[in-house]
Amino acid sequence: MGPRVLIVEDEQIIAADLAAQLERAGYEVIGMAITGEEAVEIAGRMKPGIVLMDVRLAGAMGGPEAARLIQRQSGAAIIFITAYPGVFLREAQQLNPPGICLGKPFSWVQLEAALAAAGHLISGER
């Protein structure tokens, strides 16, 4: 089984589709969250290696804030998913290791490349 992935996406159809694609590709989807608060709680319990994080979420906590908290507690690699990657790129670079930014809509090939890059980040290959 591949790295443990947490999906944080407030559109449940998109989250379910991502989960199905990831599982077919051999990743272990450990949970799905629609709010930043829920994502932090799940990540604290389940310790994901990779988090697919939408920037805009339901609830008070947005994706960037949730990503910082999750990364601090688990060291997970963050792949931000956003409709506005150019605007968001600076925020992603403030994480350690830096977040990867994937623009919506994206293809499976693009997601696969982002997952491979995230896998190198969590394995220490920089």
Q: Write out pLDDT tens, residues 66-113.
A: 999 999 998 899 999 888 776 565 665 666 666 788 888 899 999 999
Comparison of pLDDT for 88 and 124, the residue scoring more: 88
Structure tokens at 49: 């290696």
Is there a contact between 58 and 36 (Cβ–Cβ < 8 Å)?
no
Partner residues linked to 92 by β-bridges: none
The owner of tokens 């490349």 is: 113
**What is the structure's pLDDT at 103?**
85
Domain boundaries, the chain: 4-122
Lowest mean pLDDT among 29-33, 43-47, 70-74, 101-105: 101-105
The CATH architecture that domain 4-122 belongs to is 3-Layer(aba) Sandwich (3.40)
Query: How far apart (Å, rounded) are the C-alpha atoms in residues 28 and 30?
Result: 6
- CA 116 to chain centroid: 13
- The residue ranges of DSSP E strands in the chain, in sequence order, are 4-8, 28-33, 50-54, 77-82, 100-103
Structure tokens at 94: 């403030």
Label the pairing between strands 50-54 and 77-82: parallel
